[in-house]
Amino acid sequence: METSFVPFVLISLAKVIVVVVILLMAVAYTVLLERKLVGRIQNRWGPSRVGPFGLLQPLVDGAKLFLKEDLIPEAVDRPLYILAPMIALTCALLSIAVVPFGADVRWHGVDLFEIADVNIGLLIVLGITSIGVYGIALSGWSSNNKYSLLGALRSTAQVISYELALGLSLVGVVMRSGSLRLRDIVNVQATHGLLSWNFFGGFQFVAFFIYLMAAYAETNRTPFDLPEAESELTAGYHTEYSSMKFAMFFMAEYANMITVGCVATLLFFGGATSPFGHFLSGSGPVSIALFSIFWFVAKVFFFLFLYIWVRGTLPRFRYDQLMGFGWKFLVPVAIANIVVTSLWLGFLTPVH
Amino acid sequence: MNLGLFIVFGALCVAGALNLLFQRHPINSALSLIVVMSSLAVLYLLLGAEFLAAAQVIVYSGAIMVLFTFVIMLLNAGKEERTHGSKMAYIAGIPGAAALLALLAFIFISRGGSFGSARLGEYIVTTTDLSRVLFKNLLLPFEVTSVLILIAILGAVALARKEH
């Protein structure tokens, strides 16, 4: 259905604003969730003073970071030093634009729960992720600090190595759905609830675990957080950053975590569909919308919880182990997964 | 709208290319090259080649240029020194470049019809179309190219390996 230009622009603008605000709030509260959960894992309370259960802590943290003095050291390369956190945050927020986070509900012909429905959605997510590494690389280089540079070099090498495994692990999913459009990938998994998810029914669990590990490495999270290993590099690439610029890196990291959670949900766990098929997926348009949002948020929350759980549990890799694991284990297993999946699909599809 | 985007990103592409030549620090040149490649991706997208646009961003801006900046950062390359250039560049370079440009322009004008054409925002080549051509009609050249790349990688490994 064609829509006229002005309502389309207005609805799209509203969607963008709502999604960005919700995403930033989610980022703030993921930080709180992490502090609380890691606190409980380490047998302490975590933030509990500001508001009930410490729920207002993110707002106070935000205010503190805004009010701090913005230091720019003498020896930095000024333009790139300022540009780097912007690149990091922009790339982290951009990829949410192609994520369908609800059922295909239309209003005036405009898809309400996805900002942009593009044919190559999955490739756009991968492309934006691969651009995002410049934020870290440039911040480390422009800081003119040995620790920052080492952190940036580690991060760049790590991201390049794991991007390969990450891309290869998604090929099986794309083969099953025959499309790079994220809605198509979700629709393939929508028929029988849990049983038709790529993780169970599509037999892509190997691909899922490869994706998960590679994505943890791409977002520089434990056990792959060598770029900011506190015990070795003080704070890695963002050592020289303070105030809001530091906060931008921080927000970028958590926004990337949310993106990874969204992509894992869409590709392996049926996106916004109910795990019980038509049960608990709503009947009227409003309840369909609400239930689909509920399932999507619940699944993404599970992945954020997993991120924090892993951080509270696993120690850091050594650098050579990290590289060996990526190149000698993940990449071959991902290729084997592609071969097995294509053979399986080849035997299933009838010959014309 | 398509024309407007084409002009903006075409200008960005040319500006990035000029900046690449005039910047004295290698990392600034590398960043300009990223701008050039990303705006080329937008131009591909405007011409309807969406897969090519995504591949351009992922492969060129995302992987190859990251390696460039990585090497520049690792070697800690400093600013280039400005020289007056070699005489050869002036004597042979400028007429050579002009001759090449004239030759290309001549071929484009005289044989323009046989290249095929694409209009801005007219037709989108889907990934399915592209893969049908690559894996069905042009399967042999495609696979031979991959073998060629494999041989190049083996050659690089053989050259880089230390003698024992």
Q: Which helix (H) or strand (E) holds A107?
A: strand A106-107
Q: Among A77-91, A231-245, B33-47, whose mean pLDDT is lowest? A: A231-245
Instruction: Name every residue whose Cβ is closer than 8 Å to that of residue A32 and which is 6 or more positions away in sequence.
Output: A47, A54, A55, A57, A58
**B74·A153 Cβ contact <8 A:** yes
Average pLDDT over residues A255-281: 84
Is A130 part of the contact surface with chain B (CB cutoff 8 Å)? Answer: yes
**A133·B51 Cβ contact <8 A:** no
Percent of chain B surpassing pLDDT 90: 24
Question: What ranges in chain B are assigned the alpha helix state H?
Answer: 2-22, 26-46, 50-55, 65-75, 87-88, 94-111, 127-132, 139-160
For helices A78-94 and A243-268, angle between their N-to-C axes, nearest 10 degrees? 30
Chain centroid, CA A19 distance in Å: 15
Residues of B in contact with A126 (CB under 8 A): 54, 58
Contact A217, A330 (CB under 8 A): no
Residue A327 has pLDDT above 60, yes or no: yes
**B63·A163 Cβ contact <8 A:** yes
Tell me the torsion sign for CA atoms A252, A254, A258, A259: positive
User: Confidence class of residue B163 from pLDDT cuts 50, 70 and 90?
Assistant: low
Average pLDDT over residues B75-88: 72
State residue B151's pLDDT score. 94
Interface size, chain A vs chain B, as Cβ–Cβ contacts under 8 Å: 71
Contacts by A175-181, CB closer than 8 A, 24 or more apart: A175/A338, A175/A341, A175/A342, A175/A345, A176/A202, A176/A204, A176/A341, A176/A345, A178/B128, A179/A119, A179/B127, A180/A119, A180/A120, A180/A121, A180/A122, A180/A123, A180/B127, A181/A117, A181/A118, A181/A119, A181/A120, A181/A121, A181/A122
Average pLDDT of chain B to the nearest whole number: 84
Average pLDDT over residues A3-15: 81
Residues of B in contact with A156 (CB under 8 A): 66, 69-70, 73
State residue B15's pLDDT score. 93
Residues β-bridged to residue A106 = A111
Please write the tens of the pLDDT for every residue from A132-185: 888 888 888 888 888 888 888 888 888 888 888 998 998 888 888 888 888 888
Chain centroid, CA A54 distance in Å: 25
Average pLDDT over residues A46-75: 84
Residues of B in contact with A80 (CB under 8 A): 27, 31
Residue B51 has pLDDT above 80, yes or no: yes
Residues of A in contact with B73 (CB under 8 A): 137, 140-141, 149, 152-153, 156
Residue B150 has pLDDT above 90, yes or no: yes
Q: How many CB atoms lie within 10 A of CB A98?
A: 24
Q: Which of A78, A95, A134 to mutate to test the interface with B (most CBs of B within 10 A)?
A: A134
Distance from CA of B57 to the nearest CA of A (A): 6
3-state helix, strand, coil in chain A (%, to 5): 70, 0, 30
Q: How far is residue A235's CA from residue A155's CA, in Å, rounded to a whole number? A: 13
Complex ipTM: 0.79
Q: How far is residue A187's CA from residue A177's CA, in Å, rounded to a whole number? A: 8
**B58·A127 Cβ contact <8 A:** yes
**A123·B55 Cβ contact <8 A:** yes
Residue B7 has pLDDT above 60, yes or no: yes
Residues β-bridged to residue A111 = A106
**B54·A149 Cβ contact <8 A:** no
Residue A251 has pLDDT above 60, yes or no: yes
Residue A2 has pLDDT above 60, yes or no: no
Across the interface, which of A119, A120, A152 has its CB nearest the CB of B73?
A: A152
Please write the tens of the pLDDT for every residue from A202-240: 778 888 999 999 999 888 887 888 777 777 777 778 888
The larger pLDDT score, comparing residue A250 to residue B116, is at A250
Distance from CA of B21 to the nearest CA of A (A): 19
Chain centroid, CA A84 distance in Å: 19
Please report the residues numbered 168 through 227 in chain A whose beta carbons come closer than 8 angstroms to any beta carbon of chain B.
178-180
Contact A114, A100 (CB under 8 A): yes
Chain B residue with Cα closest to A126: B58
Cα end-to-end span (Å), chain A: 34
Distance from CA of A199 to the nearest CA of B (A): 24
**B127·A119 Cβ contact <8 A:** yes
Q: Which of A80, A124, A130 to mutate to test the interface with B (most CBs of B within 10 A)?
A: A130
Distance from CA of A237 to the nearest CA of B (A): 13
Instruction: Name every residue whose Cβ is closer than 8 Å to that of residue A204 and which is 6 or more positions away in sequence.
Output: A172, A173, A176, A198, A268, A337, A341
Across the interface, which of A123, A153, A157 has its CB nearest the CB of B58?
A: A123
Contact B33, B68 (CB under 8 A): yes
User: Residue A9 to residues A4, A179, A220, A235: CA-CA distances in angstroms?
Assistant: 9, 27, 36, 42
Domain range list for chain A: 73-348
**B70·A153 Cβ contact <8 A:** yes
State residue A347's pLDDT score. 86
| Structure tokens, A14 | 């509203």
State residue B13's pLDDT score. 92
**B69·A160 Cβ contact <8 A:** no
Average pLDDT over residues A312-329: 86
- DSSP per position, A224-257: S-GGG-HHHHTTGGGTT--HHHHHHHHHHHHHHH
Is A160 part of the contact surface with chain B (CB cutoff 8 Å)? Answer: yes
Average pLDDT over residues B123-134: 81
State residue A79's pLDDT score. 85
Q: Hey, what amino acid is at A221?
A: R
**B34·A134 Cβ contact <8 A:** yes
Average pLDDT over residues A278-283: 72
User: Confidence class of residue A1 from pLDDT cuts 50, 70 and 90?
Assistant: very low
Distance from CA of B23 to the nearest CA of A (A): 14
CA atoms in the 13 A half-sphere facing the CB of B20: 14
Residue A282 has pLDDT above 80, yes or no: no
Closest CA to A133 of A97, A101, A166, A100: A166
pTM of the model: 0.85
Q: How many CB atoms lie within 10 A of CB A237?
A: 32
Average pLDDT of chain A to the nearest whole number: 84
Residue A249 has pLDDT above 90, yes or no: no
Q: How far is residue A148's CA from residue B57's CA, in Å, rounded to a whole number? A: 26
Residues of B in contact with A118 (CB under 8 A): 50
Across the interface, which of B53, B57, B73 has its CB nearest the CB of A137?
A: B73
Residue B82 has pLDDT above 50, yes or no: yes
Average pLDDT over residues A300-319: 88
Q: How far is residue A128's CA from residue A255's CA, in Å, rounded to a whole number? A: 13
Residue A112 has pLDDT above 80, yes or no: no
User: Confidence class of residue B1 from pLDDT cuts 50, 70 and 90?
Assistant: confident
Residues of A in contact with B54 (CB under 8 A): 120, 123-124, 126-127
Strands A106-107, A110-111: pairing is antiparallel
| Structure tokens, A166 | 């990450």
Q: How far is residue B64's CA from residue A131's CA, in Å, rounded to a whole number? A: 11
Residue B69 has pLDDT above 50, yes or no: yes
State residue A333's pLDDT score. 92
Instruction: Name every residue whose Cβ is closer than 8 Å to that of residue B139 and which is 6 or more positions away in sequence.
Output: none
B143 three-class SS: helix
Residue A318 has pLDDT above 60, yes or no: yes
Please report the residues numbered 59 through 88 in chain A whose beta carbons come closer than 8 angstroms to any beta carbon of chain B.
80
- DSSP per position, A119-179: TTHHHHHHHHHHHHHHHHHHHHHHTT-HHHHHHHHHHHHHHHHHHHHHHHHHHHHHHHHT-
